[in-house]
Structure formats: structure tokens, C-alpha cells
């Protein structure tokens, strides 16, 4: 016969109380394990992980206290956030450099277009002068032909 818990002499009731206590003990150990694994995922300092686990040794109350005081985010989430911020800052820096180089390139293209237009104007003026000079020589030859 099982020893009486809390002075209960009824076998059925004693068995129910023993099963309830076993269930509470299993839940308590599960909460200790959960506190330990959750603390490892949220806290980088091993000493604080140990303190959180030790606090959960007080049945049920320690785990509730840990849940109130625990950090709000996992270490992996904090790392991902930091990496995301760094990559965003790098992207912004690259885009600013690209914008600056694009502005320089745009100015260079405009200067090149202006130089090409000036070159075309000079070439057109030269061609006009050559035609005029060639046309003037033909007029004199035609005038001489008329005279003779």
C-alpha cells in the first residue's frame, strides 16, 4: 500500500492525489527545461542563463518571474535586425555613390554633346566657306566666258 499523502486514507483518493503531484512535478521539470532553453535563445551571458534557470527552481513562481523579466527578442532576431540595418546602410551608401557618379556622367555627356554640336557648326561653316570660295571661282570663270 502507498504511503498516505496529506493524511488521506482512501486508496482511490490517495492515488488521485499522487498522480496529481506527479503531474505537477512533471510540469515543474518541464518549465525548468523550458526556462533554460528559452534563456539560452534570448540571453548571451551564461551566468544570466544560470540565474534564470535557478529562479525557475522555485515551483511555478520562478518561471512566471522569468517570463516577466526576460528579454523581448531572441538573439537570432537581434542579429538578423543588425545585419538588415547594416545591409540597408551599405545599400544607401552605394546608391548615393551611384547617384553621384551618374550626375558626373550626365555632365560629361552634356559637355560631349555641346562639343559635338560646336564641331558640327564649325564643319558646316567650313563647308559653306569652301562652297562659297568654289562658287565664287566658278562665277568669275563664267563671267570671263561671257566676255569672250
What pLDDT sits at residue 76? 92
What pLDDT sits at residue 138? 64
Q: How far is CA 142 from CA 107, 135, 138, 146, 147, in A?
A: 52, 10, 6, 6, 9
Q: Could you give the angle at the alpha carbon of 115 between the alpha carbons of 112 and 119, nearest 5°?
A: 140
Spatial neighbors of 70 by CB under 8 A, at least 6 apart, are: 38, 39, 42, 43, 52
Asked whether residue 41 carries a pLDDT value surpassing 70, the answer given is yes
Distance CA 9, CA 11 (A): 6
Asked whether residue 62 carries a pLDDT value surpassing 90, the answer given is yes
Q: Name the 3-class secondary structure at 11.
A: helix
Contact in structure between 135 and 127 (CB atoms under 8 Å): no
Task: Kindly calculate the radius of gyration of the chain based on its CA atoms and give it in whole angstroms.
Answer: 46
What pTM does this model have?
Answer: 0.58
Per-chain mean pLDDT for the chain = 88
Lowest mean pLDDT, pick from 1-5, 89-93, 102-106: 1-5
Q: What is the mean pLDDT of residues 61-77?
A: 91
Contact in structure between 39 and 21 (CB atoms under 8 Å): no
Asked whether residue 16 carries a pLDDT value surpassing 60, the answer given is yes
Q: How do residues 42-56 score in pLDDT, each as one tens digit?
A: 999 999 999 999 999
What pLDDT sits at residue 134? 75
Asked whether residue 84 carries a pLDDT value surpassing 80, the answer given is yes
Instruction: Read off the C-alpha cell for 148.
Output: 569672250
Asked whether residue 141 carries a pLDDT value surpassing 70, the answer given is no
Residue 130's pLDDT band, with cuts at 50, 70 and 90, is confident
Amino acid at each position: 500500500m502507498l504511503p498516505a499523502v496529506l493524511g488521506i486514507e482512501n486508496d482511490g483518493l490517495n492515488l488521485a492525489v499522487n498522480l496529481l503531484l506527479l503531474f505537477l512535478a512533471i510540469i515543474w521539470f518541464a518549465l525548468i527545461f523550458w526556462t533554460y532553453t528559452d534563456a539560452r535563445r534570448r540571453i548571451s551571458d551564461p551566468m544570466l542563463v544560470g540565474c534564470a534557470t535557478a529562479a525557475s527552481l522555485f515551483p511555478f513562481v520562478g518561471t512566471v518571474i522569468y517570463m516577466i523579466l526576460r528579454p523581448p527578442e531572441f538573439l537570432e532576431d537581434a542579429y538578423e535586425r543588425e545585419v538588415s540595418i547594416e545591409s540597408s546602410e551599405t545599400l544607401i551608401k552605394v546608391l548615393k555613390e551611384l547617384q553621384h557618379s551618374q550626375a558626373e556622367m550626365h555632365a560629361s555627356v552634356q559637355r560631349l554633346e555641346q562639343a559635338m554640336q560646336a564641331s558640327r557648326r564649325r564643319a558646316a561653316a567650313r563647308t559653306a566657306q569652301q562652297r562659297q570660295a568654289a562658287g565664287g571661282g566658278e562665277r568669275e570663270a563664267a563671267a570671263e566666258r561671257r566676255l569672250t
